[in-house]
Amino acid sequence: MNRTLLVMLVITAAAYAQGQGQTGGRVPQGGSPAGAGRRAAGPPPGAVPKPAIANVKPVRSCESLASVALPNMTIHSAAVDASNPGVCRVTAVTTHPPSNDKVTIWVAIPILNWNGRFLGTGGGGFSGGSPGGVNQPVALSRRGA
């Protein structure tokens, strides 16, 4: 099952890349793209996320986020990212009582011109959700049975 899914993802990515050609999906100057009769892959018109309110200014500075108090969390730093001045990088350590573990996380918060999208990656046990599946007994089966 996992191998089939991986193969399908690779095929889809290859097909998408092939459809983009050397122009990266853009129409060449003075002409139409190859396969102009086909509809280009992508979101339907009007589906691109836009900010709910245009040109919103931050209500507090990036550095002031270091003083925010959150339960079971200590914010270690909040500073404008040196490699990307449009981003405030917040680093924090959180714990899950009563285990007293420590999980370091960081969040890159756009300072200006946020496109309205949010992407969360990684997380392991910190991603939320129900831990019920983790606590259930493992279903064992024999291959070929």
- The mean pLDDT of 7-23, rounded to a whole number, is 47
Q: Which domain holds residue 73?
A: 60-112
Give the pLDDT band of residue 142 (cuts 50, 70, 90). Answer: low
In a domain, 1, yes or no: no
Is the distance from CB of 106 to CB of 89 less than 8 angstroms? yes
Q: How far apart are CA 53 and CA 112, in angstroms?
A: 12
In a domain, 88, yes or no: yes
3-state SS, residue 105: strand
Give the pLDDT band of residue 141 (cuts 50, 70, 90). Answer: low
In a domain, 67, yes or no: yes
In a domain, 105, yes or no: yes
pLDDT in tens, 118-136: 777 776 655 555 555 555 5
Q: What total of structural domains would you count in the chain?
A: 1
In a domain, 145, yes or no: no
Q: What residues pair up with 78 in beta bridges, in sequence order? A: 90
In a domain, 108, yes or no: yes
pLDDT in tens, 54-99: 777 778 899 999 999 989 999 999 999 999 888 999 999 988 888 8
In a domain, 38, yes or no: no
Is the distance from CB of 125 to CB of 95 less than 8 angstroms? no
At 48, list the tokens. 């691109």
Give me the chain's average pLDDT, please. Answer: 69
φ/ψ of 14, rounded to 5, equals: -65, -40
Give the pLDDT band of residue 43 (cuts 50, 70, 90). Answer: low
